[in-house]
Structures are given as C-alpha cells and as structure tokens.
Chain A
C-alpha cells in the first residue's frame, strides 16, 4: 500500500531586497589641448589625418602626443599628414551589443573595428564599413570615408565615418 505523499514544505519566502536606483548623467567639457586640438582642426577643416613626429626617434604618433612615450622627450611641432588608404591588419567585430558610456549609444551588432596599416606604415584604429562578418578579411585595401558636412565635423577621429573597401 502506498504511503501518503509527504506534505510539501511551504515554499521558503525569498527575501525582498531594497535597491537604490540612480542615474547619474555627468557632464564634462574636455579640452583637447594643443596637440589633440591640432588633430581635430585638421580633421574638421581639411579632412586630413595627422600625427606628430618625435624629434629624436622619428616615430610618428597618432593620437598625437606632447611627449614621446618611448624617448620621453618633448615632441615639438613636427606634423606629418598620414595617407588615408591602407590595408586591414587585424579586425574583430562585436556580436553582443555594448554601451558606449560617453555618448549613451549602443553599438550595433555586428560592429567591426580594425587595426589598419596605413600606406606609410603607421597603424590606425577605426571602424570598418563592411558589416557582413563573412566578408571581412585581413589584407583588404581600405580608404577613409569622411563626414562630408562641415558642420557635422569637429569630433576628431569620429569625423571619419569608417574605412571602406577600395573599389566598392
């Protein structure tokens, strides 16, 4: 004969935790300064990508720097215009969307970012236009595509929308 089924234990009540929800928009007004400011100006006015060159080791730094990170000497004002074409050296793409905390935007899926070897041997990092991940390839020749509207520029590296495959 079956035993009587055991009485179910009363479900242990889960404690209700009290949380404090807080949104904290923090406004900042960052100065670009002399060196980065020059980069921003060249991008806005002339749609040029520039880097500065160390007087001692001759290395070109982009983003520009006031002090050469390697030699630790003051950089001076030797600017080099960088080519706007190059090849994709390495890339990755976002699958799960991420928030950009500075601008409150959510970067879409997929979101390809790449290290581009510009034609003069300097590395530059930016987005790619190609969003089909199966079409992304190392070695693809790419070219910078700028925001055409002058009024929309003034965001430094973000003035370049993306690098797109040459010939597309």
Chain B
C-alpha cells in the first residue's frame, strides 16, 4: 500500500522584481528556512531535497549543485527536475512519489527563479526549436495573445471581463504579504489604459517576471501526524504533457484539438470521485499567465460551462468572498518566479486548507483544493489537496 503524503511545512520568500541583496542560493535558503520553521523541524530531519528551476533563465547550469550547501542538500539525496513552466508541478509529483513509495519519510520540495539574472522572454523564445523558431517565436506572450483572441471570438467575453479578472487578482495580491505585484488598481479603466505588449494583450494582462522561491516539506503519514496538527494531504496528482498544436497553443480556434487540461482533470476527477467540481472542490489556485487564460481555465476544469468563464467574474463567484474562490493569493498574474510558481499554487492552496492565509483567506471553509501548473506548449499538472482523506 502506498504511503499517504502530507504537506507539513510551507515557506516562501517575499516575491519581487529584483533581489540585488541576495544571490540565488541565499534567496532559496530564505524559503527553506521559512518552511522548516513552519514545520518546526531542522534541516537534519530532512531526508531528501528536490529542486525545480529553469536554468536557462538565469544562465546558471546545475543550480541545485551551486546551492547544495546553502539550502542543506549537501550530504543528502536529491535531484532536480526541469520541465518548463510545469517544473514546479513536476517536482511536487516527484516529492510525492518518493514519499508515497516509502523510499523517504520527510523531504523538501523547492522551486525558485531569480529572474533578475537573465532575460526570461528571450529564454522562453529559446523553447521554440531553434531550427524552426527563428522569426516565428514570440515567446509565451505571443501564444497567449492568440489565446485571448480565440477566447473573445468563441465565448463572447469582452475586454472588460479580462480587466475585472485583473482587478480581482490585484485586490487579492494586496492582501497577500508574499505577492509581487500589488498595484492598487481601482477600476476597469486602469487596466484598459495600460499599453499593449503583444496585441491584444496589455502589460497588465500578463504575468510579471518575479524573483522568488517556495519550499514545502512533505511527510509520510506516520511522521506527519507527529509533526503537525494541521497536515494538508496530497490526495492525488496528474501530469499530462503533449505536442504543440499546429493551430494555436493555448487556444485552439478550430475546436478540434484536445486540451491537456481536460484530459488531466477528467482523469483526476474520476479517480477521486469528483462529479461536480464546484461542489466537491472548495477553491482553486490555478496557473493563469494571463487574465484571459484564467477564464479559459475555469471552463477547462469544469468550474463552469464552456464559453461561460467570463460569467464567473461578472457574478463575483470567484472572489475571495465568493461561492467558488479562485486564486485568493493573487495568482500568477501577480507573482511569477517561474520555477517556483506551481509550488506557490500548492503552497497557497495548502494555506487555505489550514486556515492560515491571513487576510487573503477565503470566506468559506476550505476542505478540498485544486492546484494547477501550466507550461510549455500547454502542459498541465494538477495536485488535489485535502484537509482529511
């Protein structure tokens, strides 16, 4: 029988655009110390350390080796995974499998990105195969621009709806001490007046490049119950990767391609007896690089009917006080240190379940939460968290 796995410690840095005061290892060490303090453990208790980071963004090869001493991996087992935007989700899966298999009882799962070190968009453009991408690659932004267009065409959503999603994200981020962008946006006009990046995406429609790290402590059931009264159980994980669409990566205008989000959530929901996601799940921390994509993802994950993602924001359903809060933390559009972002989704979802999210705690009681990761040509990793199994 596989072991049950719980999150017993959560730590983050205060995410921001530049951290000239620390180098990469020091920044990660901040998150690790915070997670250990939260779990009231010492690094000596940790049996393995697992990392996630996109090396090309900082130009540092084998960064986990570089920080072995500072984060306490020295003398311990561990390894690094690197799968693009979903990297953090992959490392959550690896940590989960290693503990669930019985090979380890207590591990650290770390994600980080110090994006002030390099040029991220250039590096993302380098994800297009160099033998095909010259001139056609416009980084992730170009793809999300096309997604926004498709979404507007197929769902009837308006720019105002996207702006409302952005306002919600900012309101929530202002209540989250760790979030990066806290802009104090007041109205839809504030959003609609920001300049275009890649038409029709405006600067405010897209996620920032942040510096930050997030660390989680995973424990087997036996250890978890001794460490904390509030373990957050990882009920299940699901990874679905794929080829890029020919017609559109994040929004297929032809309607013929299969989305990884659908495949992933359908498999996860079936295995966990979720038949009505809005009822069976209490909140979601989804990886939405743009506000348009948040509306799209809500449809993919069956939080609403197809074509109606924009109605959720219109009716206030996804607000912190709402019926189905989404991204109480402010989401990716407020905070995006790429290697850490999916782990932050899991961390924030776990804080909600523990009731420890402070000012950005959802109004309703959160017993079950879904965290999603997105990356590459629209890959998906889902993590389902529960207060009790």
Contacts and interface: CB of A to CB of B under 8 A. Distances in A.
A24 B60 CA distance: 11
Interface in A60-104: 61-63, 69, 89-96, 98-103
A92 B198 contact: yes
A94 B134 contact: no
A11 B197 CA distance: 37
A30 B138 contact: no
Contacts of A110: 199
Given A89-B247, A92-B146, A96-B197, A125 B134 contact: no
B246 A123 contact: yes
Interface in A116-158: 122-127, 133, 155-158
Given A101-B122, A133-B199, A89 B253 contact: yes
A102 B134 contact: yes
B273 interface: no
B122 A36 contact: no
Contacts of A111: 138
A92 B122 CA distance: 18
Nearest to B119: A99
B196 interface: yes
A36 B197 CA distance: 32
Contacts of B139: 98
B272 to A, nearest CB: 28
A157 to B, nearest CB: 6
Given A90-B150, A90-B253, A102-B130, A19 B20 contact: yes
A61 B123 CA distance: 26
Interface in B223-259: 242-243, 246-248, 253
Contacts of B145: 92
Contacts of A123: 246-247
Contact of A36 (B121, B126, B131): B131
Nearest to A124: B246
Interface string B124-148: 0110011111111111011001100
Interface residues of A, number: 44
Given A89-B253, A94-B142, A125 B197 contact: no
A92 B119 contact: no
Contacts of A92: 138, 142, 145-146, 149, 198-200
Interface residues of B, number: 38
A100 B150 contact: no
B21 A17 contact: yes
Contact of A94 (B126, B150, B198): B198
B249 to A, nearest CB: 10
A17 B20 contact: yes
A102 B133 contact: yes
B59 interface: yes
A98 B253 contact: no
A153 to B, nearest CB: 13
Interface of A: 15, 17, 19, 22, 24, 28, 30, 32, 36, 40, 61-63, 69, 89-96, 98-103, 107, 110-111, 113, 115, 122-127, 133, 155-158
Given A92-B199, A98-B121, A125-B136, 17 more contacts: A22-B59, A24-B59, A30-B131, A63-B129, A90-B149, A90-B247, A92-B200, A94-B138, A95-B195, A95-B196, A100-B125, A102-B125, A107-B135, A111-B138, A113-B138, A123-B246, A157-B134
Interface of B: 20-21, 59, 119, 121-123, 125-126, 129-139, 141-142, 145-146, 149-150, 195-200, 242-243, 246-248, 253
16 contacts: A17-B20, A24-B59, A32-B131, A61-B246, A92-B198, A92-B200, A95-B195, A96-B198, A98-B141, A99-B122, A99-B125, A100-B125, A100-B135, A126-B136, A133-B199, A156-B131
